[in-house]
Amino acid sequence: MSFSPDPLPTLLASWRIQPPPDPGFRRGVRERLGAGVAGATWAAFARRRAPLVAGAFAVALIGGALGGYDHARARVDEDRARLASAYVAGLDARRMVPAR
């Protein structure tokens, strides 16, 4: 009785996989890793979109400051006009009526 040698080890030894190269493989891995981290913390989320987030904060800061300044100056002007009118009116005999 003779045994024929098992062809499997030979076959496995000669087996080579040659998949087509994927140029986006590394980037895809990095993105998936990054997405996982970004989903975990806001800091990582913001770091990944640093220019956008920084821009939004800058616009908010400048816009808020300008709005506050304008609003304050408008109120100062309004107070000034009211006080000036009251001051002049308080000395205008033509506009007085007898106190009842």
Partner 1 sequence: MTRNLILTLLLVAAVAAAAFGVAFVASGDRTLRVAARQGDALEWLRVEFSLDADRFAAVRRLHDEFSIECSVHCAAIIAARERSAPAAEIAALEDHCVGAMTAHFRQVAARMEAAQGERYLALVLPRIRGHTHQGAPSVRLAP
- Window of 3-11, 15-23, 25-33, 57-65 that interacts with partner 1 by CB under 8 A: 57-65
Span interacting with partner 1, options 2-10, 15-23, 24-32, 62-70, rule CB under 8 A: 62-70
| CA nearest neighbour of 45 among 58, 56, 61 | 56
Judged by CB under 8 A, does residue 32 bind partner 1?
Answer: no
29 binds partner 1, rule: CB under 8 A: no
How many residues are listed for the chain in this entry?
A: 100
CA-to-CA dists, residue 9 to 4, 16, 18, 19, 36, angstroms: 13, 13, 19, 22, 41
Largest CA distance in the chain: 140
- Binding residues for partner 1, rule: CB under 8 A, are 38-39, 42, 45-46, 53, 56-57, 59-69, 71-73, 75-76, 79-80, 82-99
